[in-house]
Structure 1
Amino acid sequence: MSTPTPDAAELRTRTRDFLAAHPPHATDPAAFLRARFDAGLAWVHYPEGLGGLAAPRALQQLVDEEMRAAGAPQTNGPETNGIGLGMAAPTILRHGTEEQKRRFLKPLWCAEELWCQLFSEPGAGSDLAGLATRAERDGDDWIVTGQKVWTSSAHVADFAILIARTDPDVPKHQGITYFLCDMHAPGIEVRPLRQITGEAEFNEVFLDRVRIPDAHRLGAEGEGWKIAQTTLNNERVAIGGGTLPREGGHIGLLAAHWRTHPELRTPDLHHRLLAAWAQAEALRLSGQRLRQQLTAGQVGPEGAGMKLGFAQLAQQLTGLGVELMGEEGLLYDDWTQVRPDRVDFLARDAGYRYLRAKGNSIEGGTSEILLNIIAERVLGLPTEPRTDKDAPWKDLPR
């Protein structure tokens, strides 16, 4: 029998009682996180028994503030398990069976299992529905063969969200099925992809007859494209809809440098910095509005606008940062290939931020694709003609 949904006062009391029973500095961090999940204080808007209390999503901030103030251990969040927390978890919650939810959500939130995303392919990036990775049924298993690319964190991931083609005889959007793939399964090879920054934070992944049990199929066969929309909408919010204070993120770095280096100032840079500050503040407030919409239901195509705005602003701000810092902005760390387990923009120098921001308009959906989504699904404009939408996938040129 479920308990009544707590209000803000009750949730604050519940959080403080939990902290009193599990003193953060005297409790093993892993045990603390598991207990927090079991207490419903992981995702308060999730159902009871799955890390939440069926409370309003907006109350999560209250819990997080109490936890931070007490010095509680944090689940390895967006830096190391952003795909798991921001994309896999909401998709499993919405489309998974009860067994799948109970199997995957707790170790995911506690960062005991890290996740990656096996969606894009060398021939199916912007046209994701054209993917060619095949999954064929073999008794209680599926045998998956193909190649995925641009896979962040594949080299450290334990599981992946994967879409593959299960029926080549129907139109491309209809023949796709969604799976939860064990990244330690035989037949998976992960190779690093070196980026313009010199690092290899993402990879290409080869799947050679990888067996996935049918129990790890998410949703019905052939419904993968519909389920993937849940993932992609949440991905765009995760990338572009983060919580920042005023002058948080890139604009905060620029403003601080401007105030402490008057010798670098010019009228032109002053004007551009003010314009960028206003754009950053507008995007921050738009993010607040989007998060308020999230409290009322599932994320929709509005996340595409936030992600698009984030990518454009990040590139503008990092370019301005290089100019504002003068010769110092040209400095760059040793350009050697490393495979980081997290991406931390703000802790790196201006040169790194400038180069890495170039990827913001590609990852999570290219800016061109997002413009189409906004035009068609938000503004209601006519769709572009598509001659391949109703043709069987096997008949499409590749």
Structure 2
Amino acid sequence: MTVTRSDAIEQLMALARDSEQRAFASHALEFLTANTELRGPQQSVWGIGDERLTLFHETSDEEERAEAAAALGWQKRRWEAGFGWISGPVEHGGRGLSSEFDRLYRQIESAFEIPDMSPLRIGIGTVGPVVTAVGTPEQISKYVVPIYRGESVACQLFSEPAAGSDLAGVRTRAVRDGDDWRLNGQKVWTSNAQFADIGLALVRTDPDAPKHRGITMFLVPMTAPGIDVRPLRQITGGASFTEVFLDDVVVSDRLRVGEVGGGWRVTTQALAGERKAVGDRTHEITDRAIAMLAELATRSGRFDDPQVRQDFARIYSRLRIARFQQHRIQQIPDDRLSGAERAIDKLLVSTNLRLLGELAAEILGPRFVVNTGEWGTFNWNKWLMGALGYRIAGGTEEILKTMLAERVLMLPKEPK
């Protein structure tokens, strides 16, 4: 049965729950239909086109910069139409609506052809919200509003080579110098740093304090003297991450986010947004992947194998559970989330990505590691290697499991 344009619009309007949301949805649809087109049916024809089995960007620096420019252009249109910062404070140009309206807009917009907004995800989903919650009015006006206005790209300077997901173990130092701070150290696995305008940096300001109390958060202009951004080559061949070296970078105390020594509180708020992004953006990818695996198993004659059928059923069930978990979280107001919910969501996603890749390897056998040129086979190798990265992104699995064990299950703490 063919779904007409009017049918699609009616289905999108049905997402609204009350009269206020219906008015909002109507305005959103008016903006979207005037500026872009509805997506066509998302059907993949076996053997045609890109398999889309890479989990991280494999584009060149030039292509990534072009994607960032397109994302900024669309964000400017959103802002001008009143959809750039739906839940943002009215005094800073936002609409002051609840997160439910933000979620409703994203659901509606996902049915339309828009640029890839990945280059802005960290700014909109992590940096913007945490600086708005903890920062000064000047910081919000000068550094956050441009993110939502489509004028600025932000990155996150958290992870370090010697600390990884143990963010309280950061070694990048900030030393007070009058009204300024001098930052020295190295950050790693940073997305967007090569074209970012501003970075949110976690640094150690008191080496003698307990490690969770001696750290502070700063906004760092990425064009400041002393910043060196270098690409990191991934195991899959791409270079979508960078390492950032800070060599005596001078940052004004006006760019300190929160209290001196209060960086851990800011960090936990930022991580909640990062883990939400990791979970939200992968469910559509896994839905497509399980459908491809079903087709692959059928074409390979492997669905006759009871073990393959059992593994397929297990992964399919896990994907449904992960989706239901996400829907449950979306019904809880952000201020009532403890952080554990996002950690669980992230763990479900990263494990499912790995299991999908392992099932592909089981179905394919030698074709998983030898590139025969056959469509829908060897590129699963990139999927499984990319899944390794998701075990780290948003918090390493072991760190999150320890956190859940100690703070949710109340098990004895890990010996120090």
Q: TM-score, normalised by structure 1?
A: 0.81
Given that 1:315 and 1:357 are in contact with CA atoms closer than 8 Å, whether structure 2 keeps it comes out as yes
Q: How does 1:298-337 map to 2 (within 5 A)?
A: 300-331=339-370
Whole-angstrom CA distance in 2 between matches of 1:298 and 1:128: 21
**Residue identity opposite 1:322 in structure 2:** A
**1:353 alignment counterpart:** 383
**2:28 alignment counterpart:** 15
Pick the aligned partner of 1:45 from 70, 87, 107: 87
Give the C-alpha shift of residue 261 in structure 1.
Answer: 4.5
Matched residue count: 365
**Residue identity opposite 1:324 in structure 2:** I
**Residue identity opposite 1:281 in structure 2:** R
Partner of 1:163: helix, strand, or coil? strand
Q: Does 1:285 align with 2:324?
A: yes
**1:33 alignment counterpart:** 75
Structure 1 residues 96-125: Cα deviation after superposition (integer angstroms, max 9, x where no partner): 222222223343235532222211222222
Given that 2:86 and 2:96 are in contact with CA atoms closer than 8 Å, whether structure 1 keeps it comes out as yes
Given that 1:133 and 1:164 are in contact with CA atoms closer than 8 Å, whether structure 2 keeps it comes out as yes
Whole-angstrom CA distance in 2 between matches of 1:365 and 1:246: 20
**1:248 alignment counterpart:** 287
Partner of 1:121: helix, strand, or coil? coil
Instruction: Flag the 1:34–1:160 CA change in 2: closer, same or farther, 3 A.
Output: same
Pick the aligned partner of 1:156 from 188, 195, 213: 195
Pick the aligned partner of 2:395 from 362, 365, 379: 365
Whole-angstrom CA distance in 1 between matches of 2:264 and 2:208: 16
Whole-angstrom CA distance in 2 between matches of 1:311 and 1:125: 17
**1:378 alignment counterpart:** 408
Instruction: Flag the 1:170–1:61 CA change in 2: closer, same or farther, 3 A.
Output: closer
Whole-angstrom CA distance in 2 between matches of 1:366 and 1:250: 23
**Residue identity opposite 1:159 in structure 2:** I
Query: Structure 2: any 5+ residue segments left out of the alignment?
Result: 1-17, 38-69
Pick the aligned partner of 1:202 from 241, 244, 252: 241
Give the C-alpha shift of residue 67 in structure 1.
Answer: 4.1
Give the C-alpha shift of residue 246 in structure 1.
Answer: 10
**Residue identity opposite 1:41 in structure 2:** F
Partner of 2:329: helix, strand, or coil? helix
Q: How does 1:61-210 map to 2 (within 5 A)?
A: 61-67=103-109, 71=113, 73-74=114-115, 76-77=116-117, 79-109=118-148, 111-210=150-249
Instruction: Flag the 1:146–1:255 CA change in 2: closer, same or farther, 3 A.
Output: same
Instruction: Flag the 1:32–1:150 CA change in 2: closer, same or farther, 3 A.
Output: closer
Structure 1 residues 220-265: Cα deviation after superposition (integer angstroms, max 9, x where no partner): 1111111111111221222124473696253233234335554665
**2:56 alignment counterpart:** none
Give the C-alpha shift of residue 207 in structure 1.
Answer: 0.7
Structure 1 residues 336-387: Cα deviation after superposition (integer angstroms, max 9, x where no partner): xxxxxxxxxx9x921111111112212222111111111122223332344x
Partner of 1:197: helix, strand, or coil? coil
Q: Does 1:58 align with 2:100?
A: yes
Given that 2:126 and 2:271 are in contact with CA atoms closer than 8 Å, whether structure 1 keeps it comes out as yes
Given that 1:37 and 1:106 are in contact with CA atoms closer than 8 Å, whether structure 2 keeps it comes out as no
Given that 2:226 and 2:248 are in contact with CA atoms closer than 8 Å, whether structure 1 keeps it comes out as yes
Give the C-alpha shift of residue 213 in structure 1.
Answer: 1.9
Given that 1:144 and 1:207 are in contact with CA atoms closer than 8 Å, whether structure 2 keeps it comes out as yes
Given that 1:151 and 1:202 are in contact with CA atoms closer than 8 Å, whether structure 2 keeps it comes out as yes
Instruction: Flag the 1:34–1:241 CA change in 2: closer, same or farther, 3 A.
Output: closer
Partner of 1:324: helix, strand, or coil? helix
Given that 2:87 and 2:95 are in contact with CA atoms closer than 8 Å, whether structure 1 keeps it comes out as yes
Instruction: Flag the 1:175–1:11 CA change in 2: closer, same or farther, 3 A.
Output: same
Give the C-alpha shift of residue 324 in structure 1.
Answer: 2.1
Whole-angstrom CA distance in 1 between matches of 2:77 and 2:205: 40
**1:393 alignment counterpart:** none
Give the C-alpha shift of residue 182 in structure 1.
Answer: 1.4
Instruction: Flag the 1:7–1:299 CA change in 2: closer, same or farther, 3 A.
Output: farther
Whole-angstrom CA distance in 2 between matches of 1:357 and 1:24: 33
Give the C-alpha shift of residue 183 in structure 1.
Answer: 1.4
Whole-angstrom CA distance in 1 between matches of 2:306 and 2:121: 40
**2:263 alignment counterpart:** 224
Instruction: Flag the 1:10–1:320 CA change in 2: closer, same or farther, 3 A.
Output: same
Q: TM-score, normalised by structure 2?
A: 0.77
Given that 2:302 and 2:308 are in contact with CA atoms closer than 8 Å, whether structure 1 keeps it comes out as no
**2:5 alignment counterpart:** none
Whole-angstrom CA distance in 2 between matches of 1:253 and 1:301: 32
Give the C-alpha shift of residue 39 in structure 1.
Answer: 4.6
